[in-house]
Amino acid sequence: MDFFNMVKDALFGFIQDSGFIAMDYKSFIMICVALLFMYLAIAKQYEPLLLVPISFGMLLANLPLNGLMDVPKGEEIGGMLHYLYLGNELGIFPPLIFLGVGALTDFGPLIANPKSILLGAAAQLGIFTAYLGAILLGFTPAEAASIGIVGGADGPTAIYLATRLAKDLLGPIAVAAYSYMALVPVIQPPIMRLLTTKKERSIQMEQLRPVSKTEKILFPIIVTIFVILLIPSSASLIGMLMLGNLFKESGVVPKLVFAASETLMYIVTIFIGVTVGATSSADAFLNPKTLGILALGLMAFAVGTAGGVLLGKVMCKLSGGKINPLIGAAGVSAVPMAARVAQKVGREENPNNYLLMHAMGPNVAGVIGSAVAAGVFLTIYK
């Protein structure tokens, strides 16, 4: 009998310590959300490099009692993902992502067509619209600035700014930024079609002028000096972005280019994705404040897309119909996703339409623009 009771107690204790007992309806909802994101990433291929790690991190965070995000207490060791998450919290991972983005990015289209800077700037309208909206909803100005930056569709910048101005909101801000980045192919096309005519979407643009190697080498150096002197708070992001680009354009450090754009970037992407997803616990996610951030982020992204397209329409008129307004939508910072979307929507109307390189100008201008906007907010509120 004693043996039977001992086995029974052991089994009872095992069951009591299992996650099945601790599961509640909120965790179940979040697990379903994680599985939906996983489905979109795998079945629909909506930016799987982002959504697969994010959705799996979200799944891990909502399986009860696993302790992966536990904060260390006294002599107790914290969870594995908690320590990885410090790379976000300390502002280390976002600049490393910018280093990789710089090593992958060709600024040639922007150099060849400097007017595309205006389209990149117009697409930042969403940032300041969401900033004002967040203030009206009762967020502090610093929190509103961190929420607004989601409108740039730039996950690393959103994380970087939130760690300095709104650490308590870092999780939902990061999830909103990366989720909307991943859903660019879903969110942008309806807005682009709504604001343009078939004739405008069919416009074929002239080939860009060739850009010399000297111009490409000088560009990251000049931008680094000018922007950081103007806005010192942007140094981490702009500095790493331009260093990566200098690696690429110098042509003398191919191994560093490979390390920054392949090895390092993919490793950091995994860490950011999983840890961002792991911040989406049921308690942190299913509350009015978080849902408000998600709504503001979506509004910011939609307004940013619309701002770029509308300025594109103005430039189309002024140029006598030589500029396709669709490239304005690429002014958000999701590189090269937004540029590919502009290309896709343009070719749906005109199979001979090749907008990708034209759209890359506003696209890379948007990356610089969102980093500058973050630097402005940091200067004002830090």
> Coil, helix or strand for 202?
coil
Tokens in use for 318? 């002024």
Q: Which residue has the tokens 């569709």?
A: 153
DSSP 124: T
The confidence band for 300, taking pLDDT boundaries of 50, 70 and 90, is: confident
Q: What is the pTM of this model?
A: 0.88
pLDDT at residue 8 is higher than 70: no
Residue 217 amino acid letter: I
Of the given ranges (49-53, 189-193, 251-255), which has the lowest mean pLDDT? 49-53
For residue 312, the model assigns a pLDDT of 96
Q: What is the overall mean pLDDT for the chain?
A: 90
Work out the percent of the chain whose per-residue pLDDT is above 70: 97
Q: Which of 268, 101, 85, 277 is nearest to 178 (CA)?
A: 277
First to last CA, the chain: 67
Q: Which residue has the higher pLDDT, 334 or 106?
A: 106
Q: What are phi and psi of 116, to 5 degrees?
A: -65, -15
For residue 16, the model assigns a pLDDT of 67
Q: Which of 380, 359, 377, 319 is nearest to 120 (CA)?
A: 359
* Mean of pLDDT values over 208-217: 96
Tokens in use for 375? 């630097």
For residue 380, the model assigns a pLDDT of 93
* Mean of pLDDT values over 287-313: 90
The confidence band for 224, taking pLDDT boundaries of 50, 70 and 90, is: very high
* Mean of pLDDT values over 234-244: 96
- Find out whether 315 and 115 touch, Cβ atoms under 8 Å: yes
SS3 content of the chain, % helix, strand, coil (to 5): 75, 0, 25
Q: Tens digits of per-residue pLDDT, 365-377? A: 999 999 999 999 9
For residue 83, the model assigns a pLDDT of 95
> Coil, helix or strand for 261?
helix
Q: Tens digits of per-residue pLDDT, 103-156? A: 999 999 999 999 999 999 998 888 989 999 999 999 999 999 999 988 776 788
What are the helix (H) ranges across 77-140? Answer: 80-89, 93-104, 108-112, 116-122, 125-136
pLDDT at residue 47 is higher than 80: no
Q: Tens digits of per-residue pLDDT, 309-330? A: 999 999 999 999 999 999 999 9
Residue 71 amino acid letter: V
Q: Tens digits of per-residue pLDDT, 50-72? A: 889 999 999 999 999 888 999 99
Secondary structure of 125-188 in HEC code, one letter for each residue: HHHHHHHHHHHHCCCCHHHHHHHHHHHHCCHHHHHHHHHHHCHHHHHHHHHHHHHHHHCHHHHH
For residue 94, the model assigns a pLDDT of 93
DSSP 333: S
Q: Which residue has the tokens 């392949």?
A: 262
For residue 243, the model assigns a pLDDT of 98
Q: For the chain, what is the largest distance between any 2 Cα atoms, rounded to a whole number of angstroms?
A: 93
- Find out whether 146 and 370 touch, Cβ atoms under 8 Å: no
pLDDT at residue 276 is higher than 70: yes
